[in-house]
Structure 1
């Protein structure tokens, strides 16, 4: 990690809306923001822990599903918040569990921000549903704002 912020896009491009974290990360990477590094992972706890350990700021972008979701709604979570992000069923561990594992191992970022985009479809296939695709630009702007950068 060479920059002051790391953006981690989590998802699966072959599970329709579950690819939204990867889509946001790809757009942030395309902008080539100084001091912001971007990676994409399939929710592998080991890879995430390796990437984020002791990084000044980590911004994770992931899909969220569960009861009462509104497809395309963006939510913000930081460790210690009362609410936790919903998990997507294609992930083996959710972000709260990965963070807790990192805490137990002493492998956490100095500051963690999680942005989740609520989804409606995790069936097999490629491409985001319209409400989720429409949320990508706002999620990119939220990532850039968290990183302290203006577009």
Structure 2
């Protein structure tokens, strides 16, 4: 990685709202912010560990589900926060497990910010539900705000 920030969109385009991380990453990539690289549709945890190791700032965007979700609500989490968000994963390892593995292996970014978008539908199919699709522009702006704080 050559930039000062990496945006990682996690998800599955073929599981409805689980594709929100990929949608946000694609929009960030289309804006081409200077010094920012974008990686999306990651299915291999090793790929994340290789990509984010020692990067100054990594912003991960992923779908979240759990009790009391409000479809389209965006949440912000950084390691060390008391409340770790429940994330939806269509992979064998989710982000919390990848982070723990990175800690154990000494392969973490210098700063990690996780933005989750709460979802309502992970059925098979392409396309986001209306409340989740409506959250994409705000999630993109939240990602750009994070990378804009990077020196």
Q: TM-score range by the shorter chain?
A: over 0.9
Change (3 A) 1:69 1:106: same
Q: Describe the superposition over 1:106-142 as per-residue Cα deviations: whole angstroms up to 9, x where unpaired.
A: 0000000000000000000000000000000000000
TM-score with structure 1 setting the length: 0.95
Deviates more, 1:128-137 or 1:38-47: 38-47
TM-score with structure 2 setting the length: 0.95
Residue matched to 2:68: 68
Residue matched to 1:94: 94
CA contact (8 A) 1:77 1:113 kept: yes
Rounded to whole Å, the distance in 2 between the matches of 1:10 and 1:58 is 13
After superposition, where does 1:127-146 map in structure 2 within 5 Å?
127-146=127-146
Residue matched to 1:56: 56
Rounded to whole Å, the distance in 2 between the matches of 1:67 and 1:44 is 28
Rounded to whole Å, the distance in 1 between the matches of 2:53 and 2:102 is 8
Shift of 1:89: 4.6
Shift of 1:87: 2.1
Residue matched to 1:15: 15
Shift of 1:19: 0.2
**Residues matched between the structures, number:** 149
Rounded to whole Å, the distance in 1 between the matches of 2:89 and 2:48 is 18
CA root-mean-square deviation = 1.1
